Chains A and B, each alone.
Chain A
Amino acid sequence: MNWEVVIGLEIHTQLSTKSKLFSGAAVGFGAEPNTQTTLVDLGMPGALPVFNKEALRMAVMFGHAINAEIGMTSVFARKNYFYPDLPKGYQTSQMDHPIVGKGYLDVTLDDGTTSRVGITRAHLEEDAGKSLHEDFHGMTGIDLNRSSTPLLEIVSEPDIRSAKEAVAYVKMIHSIVTYLGICDGNMAEGSMRCDINLSLRPKGQKEYGTRTEIKNVNSFRFIEKAIYTEIERQSDILEDGGKIVQETRLYDPEKNETRSMRSKEDANDYRYFPCPDLLPIELTEAYVEEIRQTLPELPSQKAARFQSEYKLSEYDAHVLSSSRAMADYFETANKQVKDAKLTANWVMGELSKTLNQEQLEIAQSTVSAEAFGELLIRIKDNTINGKTAKDVFQAMWLGEGSADQIIDAKGLKQVTDTGAIESMIQTILDANQAQVEQYRAADEDKQKKMIGFFVGQVMKASQGKANPGIVNPILAKMLKG
């Protein structure tokens, strides 16, 4: 049968506040266990939560970025369940009155098509701690550093129809939250985690099929693979006339499979009720508007501007604006180069290639945007050619100095002295009399093919330093005799 996949995503975004959602403890990754905690995060008797207003500001920013209704009165609720790394026995979250209401995002796929994904809500909640099962001799260790870290849970409508679309949506959310500066976007450290709700239905059917929820998928690649795997699993069951069990599943990237975690019957009754330790958050129109004014340029706006201001193609503009760091890098470099196409090609080409090889983010580039711009200027003013520039860039990457220092040190400056080039060509022509004769006897079409040999000889003789723009016309003239 022809199945249609229906996907809704819940994305947990860790907000990059300095302190926790309900305590003054610092937020950070990788600290010694239980060193970033206060009485509140430890759930000590008598400890009370105090709401971090910075998290509120960030949530409202996000609401604006997805064209959402802002909850003018939002309420924290307790989600009650027992778990050793949940110190209070409840998670403080939001239920009936989230801070961000209905919104949407227009998602552009790689093939250029755009689809609108509805966002049901986004709410603030605290993270739990971590249970550590290794190194405790069969016991379990508890690390509460992450306890009460602020999360914004972004819940989409079941509007997504493919793995590609899901990934494009998550990438867009990633791009927005990093643009807004409300999340560091570091998925490897768990700053963004995704729950995938997925069901299949026969194409054309209106009712949704039974869904499963895949918990805590934490990379774009795993999201895509988990979805493909789960689609296959579900369609196999349905094709065999079986029924999908509503349950929570876990994606195992090593085996590339999803596994059952718990069924609906085992699901907790969370006994949500408004948290009596926290007052409802009441917002004023003025506050909401003030935050709207602080919104930075968002990815889609930036892409549009790159097309109109720099005359970049839609594709280039989209790629460059997908991360704020890359867009900033491009613009900073281009401020000096003043050749957007050249800068764009090099950012998306050599720089991105090297970053990918080294598995680094652009923020970790060893070559700054300014230094990168200086290199590109040397291409633009013909000091070096593109091929040499790649070598210079690699040297810069290894910290050998600025573009000019490396060009000087290695003597890579292009030869632009016409006299020197003429004598170099003469030497080559003299040494290759036979080829010169053949060239002169050939017709124009053949000559165009044959000239490459001489250009190559010149480049070889000049160790790549001869400027092709100058070599070519002189060579053509001298070959004519």
Chain B
Amino acid sequence: MVATILLTIGFSAVLAFLIGVALAFFNQKFKVERDPKIDEVRGALPGANCGACGFPGCDGYAEAVATGRAPTSKCSVGGSATAETLAKIMGIEGGIPEDKVAVLLCQGAIDKTVAKGTYNGIPTCRAAKLSTGSVKTCSWSCQGFGDCTNVCKFDALAMGEDGLPHVNYENCTGCGLCVEECPQKILTLVPRSRVGSIVLCSNRSTVKANVIKTCKVGCIKCELCVKSCPEGAITMVNGIPVTDYAKCTSCGICVQKCPTKCYKMLEIDVFGAKKEVPVMQEAQA
């Protein structure tokens, strides 16, 4: 009995010791020379292994950064602090990510637009877009089924009672998932620090009457903004006025002049909008 116990302990200990020594030996013998930068970069990453960077975990991203295959700005969890550290380790400049947020380029709320009819199909934007072209008479408008809110991982998007998704700019990380998901491609990423005016309309129709008929807050291509801008910062691109933010001084003249109120001030009307988002009561189950 005692002999068996002793033998058990002895044998297990000897085997474990032998294996331990063998492992240690082989670890040294088969050591692969690794770029020490990989470990350094890995140490600077948050270690959340979320995969938001598009690499298989922090290890994969660290290797990609260290070998120069990936920019230092991909880690959205670590944000600019991590990106700065990574850029320092790699000895490169300008690796700091722009803190971006999603902006919806449409103000076509239910009461501002005209529906084509009653849509009874699959309640997703993509299905509605595929089957009807657009549930509203404006082909560029938000479909309002909340595909974007469903993909948001940060609880930053919610459908409002007006039938449009509202971005909570405290939560938005600028990951771009909603931008990818939107079948209308009317969500866009804008740097959080950007100031100036922006057109919250995506209607590319060049026929003024069409826009007026379909939407109360659509850009009617009157080009008053282009003419009135004292800095000459606004140009029409593909039927939509585009602001040159290098010239824009946030004077607000275009916002005042715009007859359909589709020109908005980013820092006031978009980012500065009230934080409380009117959430629809009948959220889809």
A, B: real partners: no
